Structure 1
Amino acid sequence: MTAARVRAAFADAGVTGTLHVIDLDHPDRQLSVGADVPVVLASVFKVPLLVALHHSAHDLTRRITLGHDRSTGPTGIGGMLDPVTMSLRDLAYLAVTVSDNAAADALVDLIGLDEINHTLHDLGLTRTLVVHRARDFMRTMAEDAAPAEPPAALTDPVVLSRLRALDPDQTNRGTARDLTTLLRHIWQHDDCAPIRHIMARQVWPHRLASGFPFDDVRVAGKTGTLPTTRNEIGVVEYPDGGRYAVAIFTRSASTAFTLPPADAVIGTTARLAIHHLRQPHPR
């Protein structure tokens, strides 16, 4: 059974995981491993954010300035030193391609959490909720780690056990099945074409894309990362026209920040699932 092979791959990589993979053109063909279990989204929440942005009435060419009070982060505007003026669509580009926290939070501040969740509800994502901006992850982790000091505290299992950012009941959450539903919407509607374009240009190749090292297979995705948490959602497109939505969420037993097997298993399990769906008579 392919589901058993997926679970074994997760175990071999030292993680627990949930997975949902669905053939976009034949939705009766799908594979589920814990697909309805609530999970932490981490930066995967930036995909629902972009969907809400494109469903809104905002002019995406509008330019806004992010000053010194913007959210921080290791990539993009979050790591820059001076004020930056940029269009909404370029902020969206940075929020996904390099997971720019400052760009994402500027868009959340503009749209509002209620509007994001209203959009998700309208699309039928009944188990997905966005309650935090990216800056809230860092704030709550610092509060919950106290009196220990990050980042060293974030390798301590006792500290990790009390982080709200790692509890699906207290942070941005969803399910693997909900997120493939969102991907189906993005790939089936012309007004979401800019989101497909952006996701195809994500710079991180070490998770979902690592399972498909072929020049003629296209992968568009968005990662999500927090301590012990490594996720990715995306769509894999084959040269014969086959298109598969993938949502994989993992938690590692190890607290190490760098854990290549935990990253790579996302690509491995996606490939196992899609290979199964591409058989002439998948079960």
Structure 2
Amino acid sequence: MVEERIRQVFAGAGAEGQLHAIPVHMRTTVAGEAGAEPGACEVAVDADDLVVIASIFKVLLVLEFARQVVAGQLDPRERMRVTAADRLGGWGTAGCLDDVELSLRDLAHFAMSVSDNSAADLLLSRVGLDTVRLLGEELGLVRTRIVGGPRELLESMLAEVGARDEREFAVRYPALPDDRKRQLAVLDPRHTTASTPREITRLLQLIWSDAAGPPEACALVRDFMSRQVFRHRLVSGFPDDVIVAAKTGTLPGLHMEAGVARYPDGQCYAIAVFARTQDLAASRATVDAAIGKAAGIAVGLLRGDGR
């Protein structure tokens, strides 16, 4: 049974996992009805469990940005300045040493390609948190909850640890016992930005079938997702001739990625994989490899290739 094989893959990496995978070549309506025979093929491993989605929320954020651009509500060339007050640390502008000025379009590019948290925060300030939430409702993502951008999540962690700033957090957090670390709200899907694997593949299916907004907006999101530089999770589970457009998410003990794999024959498959480990390290090569392997097994079943 493929579900058991996938569970064993996660267990072999010291993790528990949730997964959902579906073909996305059919046209899907906003109401969620697929233009295919009922009972369309899927692979589901605890696919309806609520999971922390971390930076995967940026897919919904950038989709809303793209929709507003196509509607003429935002000029993608509008310039914004990323200052020291905006920097959160990490990739892209979030880790720059000096102020940076760039367009809204490049903020979206950085948010998706290198998971730039400062870029995502500034983009969210322009498109509006409530608007992103309303988009999720419009698309039928009834169990998806966005509590805020990266800064809100960071401030939540600072408050729980009792740190006044990131420097103090860097001292206090490592000294906490692991049990206390696991109690942080950002690691609990009941209290932070969360969804289910099934709703995340639904979002991807809508984007890839041009049903999440105007075709131009969906195409822009697909392009941004294809530019992601991190290739150590989903990509590792597929042959070199398979093109994967995806978005990662990472928090202590949480490793995840959602994306679409396109095969040379033109068939596409949406996959959302979430792994949780007792080890709170942010980087776990064995877990990353397990995410790719589990995705490859799931898509292999959908393709009927006996994998």
Question: What interval of TM-score do these two structures reach, taking the shorter chain for normalisation?
Answer: over 0.9
Q: Does the aligned pair in 2 maintain the 1:144–1:159 contact within 8 Å?
A: no
3-state SS of paired residue (2:170): coil
Offset, 1:213: 4.0
Q: 8 Å contact 2:245–2:259 — kept in the other structure?
A: yes
For structure 1, which runs of at least 5 residues remain unmatched after alignment?
A: none
Structure 1, residues 68-113: CA drift from partner, whole Å, max 9, x if none? 2113121101111222221111110000100001100001111121
AA in 2 matched with 1:55? R
Aligned to 1:156: 177
Which AA in structure 1 matches 2:286?
P
SS of alignment partner, residue 225 of structure 1: strand
Aligned counterparts of 2:131 and 2:152: Cα–Cα separation in 1: 18
Displacement of 1:281: 10
The whole-number CA distance in structure 1 between the counterparts of 2:306 and 2:232 is 31
Pick aligned residue for 1:43 from 52, 55, 73? 55
1:207 aligns with 2:233: yes
Q: C-alpha displacement at 1:162, in angstroms?
A: 2.0
Instruction: Return the letter of the residue paired with 1:157.
Output: D
**Which 10-residue stretch deviates more, 181-190 or 227-236?**
181-190
TM-score, with length taken from structure 2: 0.87
* Number of aligned residues: 281
TM-score (norm 1): 0.94
Gaps spanning 5+ residues in structure 2: where? 27-33, 35-39
Q: Which amino acid is the alignment partner of residue 134 of structure 1?
A: P
Could you say which residue in structure 1 is the equivalent of 2:25? 25
CA distance in 2, matches of 1:267, 1:151: 34
| Residue among 173, 180, 193 paired with 2:219 | 193
CA positional deviation for 1:21: 0.2
Residue in 2 that maps onto 1:119? 135
Secondary structure (helix, strand or coil) at the match of 2:235 reads: helix
Secondary structure of the 1:202 match is coil
Instruction: Tell me the CA shift for residue 259 of structure 1.
Output: 1.5
Distance 2:67 2:171 in 1: 37
Matched position secondary structure for 1:150: helix
Aligned pair in 2 of structure 1 residues 244, 151: CA closer, same or farther (>3 Å)? Answer: farther
Could you list the per-position Cα deviations for residues 151-184 of structure 1 after superposition, in whole angstroms to 9, with x for gaps in the alignment? 6735732222320100111111101011111101
RMSD: 1.9
Equivalent AA in structure 2 for residue 219 of structure 1:
V
Among 274, 280, 283, the alignment partner of 1:249 is 274
Hey, what's the Cα distance between the residues in 2 that align with 1:280 and 1:86? 46
Select between 145-154 and 259-268 the one with higher mean Cα deviation. Answer: 145-154
1:132-143 matches, within 5 Å, as 132-143=148-159
1:153–1:159 contact (8 Å) kept in structure 2 = no
Is residue 229 from structure 1 mapped to residue 250 from structure 2 by the alignment?
no
SS of structure 1 residue aligned to 2:255: strand
Amino acid at match of 1:194: L
The residue that corresponds to 1:274 in the other structure is: 299
1:79 and 2:100 correspond: no
Identity of aligned residues (%): 40
Q: C-alpha offsets along residues 176-207 of structure 1, whole Å, 9 cap, x if unaligned?
A: 01111110111111221111111111111111
Cα distance between partner residues in 2 of 1:142 and 1:158: 17
> How far apart in 1 are the matches of 2:237 and 2:15?
17
CA distance in 1 between partners of 2:136 and 2:231 (Å): 28
Q: CA deviation at 1:256?
A: 2.5
Q: What is the letter of the counterpart of residue 25 of structure 1?
A: H
Against the structure 1 CA distance between its residues 254 and 24, is the aligned structure 2 distance closer, same or farther, given a 3 Å change threshold?
Answer: same
Residues 230-280 of structure 1: CA deviation (Å, up to 9, x unaligned): 110000010011100001111112122332111111100000000001017
Supply the distance in 2 between the matched residues of 1:2 and 1:151 (Cα, whole angstroms).
Answer: 44
Q: CA distance change for structure 1 residues 66 and 181 in 2, over 3 Å: closer, same or farther?
A: same
Q: Which residue of 1 aligns with 2:7?
A: 7
Could you tell me whether the CA contact under 8 Å between 1:201 and 1:220 is conserved in 2? yes
